[in-house]
Chain A
Amino acid sequence: MPEYADYELTAQERKAKELEAEAALKAKVQGGYILESPAEMTPGYRKALVVQLTVQADTELMSAPAYWFAARHAPTANTQVSAHAIIQDELAHANIAYRLLEDLGESKEQLVYGREPHQFKHPYGFDQPLDNWAELVVANGFFDRAGITLLGDVHRNTSYGPLKRALVKVDMEETFHLRHGEVWMRRLVRSGRTASALLQRCVDWMFPMTVEWFGLPDHLKRHSGQLDYRLKGLTNDELRQVWMASTVPLCERLGLKVPAHYCERLDEYVLDYPFPCEYDPDAKQWLFAEGEISWNQVFERWKGRGPMNEIYVESIRRSRDTVASWFN
């Protein structure tokens, strides 16, 4: 509620006062200040945090059905246990982020059950089917590495105390998922030609998928509330580079071809294909030959969601009404 004195202010003066409060909070968090409660937040900070946490929660939640469908391809009882341990972790991570959103006055009920499938904010990669064991382990190696790159950065840099503490557990468990991916990629490569070819096929569609996941390049992103409010530390391009700096050498060690290389002159990883470009989800193929597209076209594709979007969302929600009816 505005203070009584605020009613004396003109709309213009009020706006100026709000901007001043936002600037003051930005300066404070840039100096290392950690917020502990929603009462300390400005509307701008709260909004940026809600967006960040919603993406985080939805991503964790939607990775669960994607991995769960794929876990049916686990080759042994032990691997079945490992795959389901990962799925259980992802659901718990989603729950942590939704729980933090509840502290900010959002409703977990509404977020999980009240939205249309296309309104979830997870990356396009988790709208895709994972059709065999190789695709699951490359998802662990690539997608979970993207997750740990993004969340590790939030963990080290966020100005929101409750999130910083919650991410200790999340980061450790994501490390296990990444290990699962790496160990299995190594095993499959060692096993021979059939598995190696399958693995290469996974890399071909999942590498560009993850590169795109990090979003708009810095030169096109004019403004980032998340950086201003110190909700994260690195820019999109920096995070993309961190991911490539561990993913490209891993693939090279395993003899897998990736469409990116390290450029010594620039001291960064450079993509060997038009970026961004169009994707054919049915063929699981990037249309490199058709050349570069605009980021607006990418956003359109993301907004349209991928082939498994509704199936994944419904797989999480399907029994709710049935069970609810037993209690009536």
Chain B
Amino acid sequence: MVQLATLRARHPGAWPAAGGGRDQWSAPKEAPPEDGAAAVRAVLCEVLDPELPISLVDLGLVYGVAFDRGAARIDLTFTATACPCMDFIKQDVRDRVSLEPWVRSVEIREVWHPPWTTSMITERGRKQLRGFGVSA
């Protein structure tokens, strides 16, 4: 017999990242934030790259965030022009941001300039990647 509580305590790392981190999304904020753009950026910190366990913000893919009367606009780039994960990333961004009741619409603009390089990964992202055994 396997007791899941025991198993979880003994092997906390054993669970595959279900939902690509969707299970870790925080509850939406009820009240509209004072700084909408900053709040959108904050929730984007919960959206993970489909392969690496770091957020799109820490990976340096979010080039800009604008927010005006409920309309969020996100300038997003990708690590490669034909990245096979583009669809997932956009869907995750859309789903996470629109989870907030004060967001009425989400527009994603694909931006290719400047081209993404590993130098755009934040210090926190670099640290997380090293912890995972990847150097960037």
Interface residues of chain A, those whose CB is within 8 Å of chain B, are 78-79, 81-82, 85, 145, 148-149, 152-153, 156, 165, 168, 172-173, 175-176, 178-180, 182-183, 218, 233-235, 237-238, 241-242, 245-246, 249-250, 266-269
Contact = CB atoms under 8 A, between A and B. Distances in A.
Interface string B18-57: 1110000000000000000000000000000011110000
Nearest to B132: A168
Contact of A173 (B5, B51, B82): B51
B16 A178 contact: yes
Given A179-B50, A268-B3, A246 B18 contact: yes
Contacts of B88: 179-180, 183
Contacts of A149: 14, 16
B17 to A, nearest CB: 6
B84 A85 contact: yes
Interface of B: 1-5, 7, 11, 13-20, 50-53, 82, 84-88, 91, 132-134
Nearest to A144: B16
Given A241-B7, A242-B7, A78 B86 contact: yes
A74 B116 CA distance: 29
Q: Chain B's interface: helix, strand, loop or mixed, by majority?
A: loop
A245 B5 CA distance: 11
Nearest to A151: B16
B85 A266 contact: no
A152 B13 contact: yes
A246 B134 CA distance: 26
Q: Chain A's interface: helix, strand, loop or mixed, by majority?
A: helix
B20 A241 contact: no
Contact of A237 (B2, B5, B50, B134): B2
Contacts of A81: 82, 84
Contacts of A175: 16-17, 20, 50-51, 53
A173 B16 CA distance: 12
Contact of B2 (A178, A241, A246): A241
Nearest to A244: B4
B133 A250 contact: no
25 contacts: A81-B82, A81-B84, A82-B84, A82-B87, A85-B84, A165-B133, A168-B132, A168-B133, A168-B134, A172-B132, A175-B50, A178-B17, A179-B85, A183-B87, A233-B11, A233-B14, A235-B2, A238-B2, A241-B2, A242-B7, A242-B16, A249-B18, A250-B19, A267-B5, A268-B2
A153 B132 contact: no
Contacts of A237: 2
Contacts of A245: 4, 15
Contact of A176 (B7, B51, B86): B51
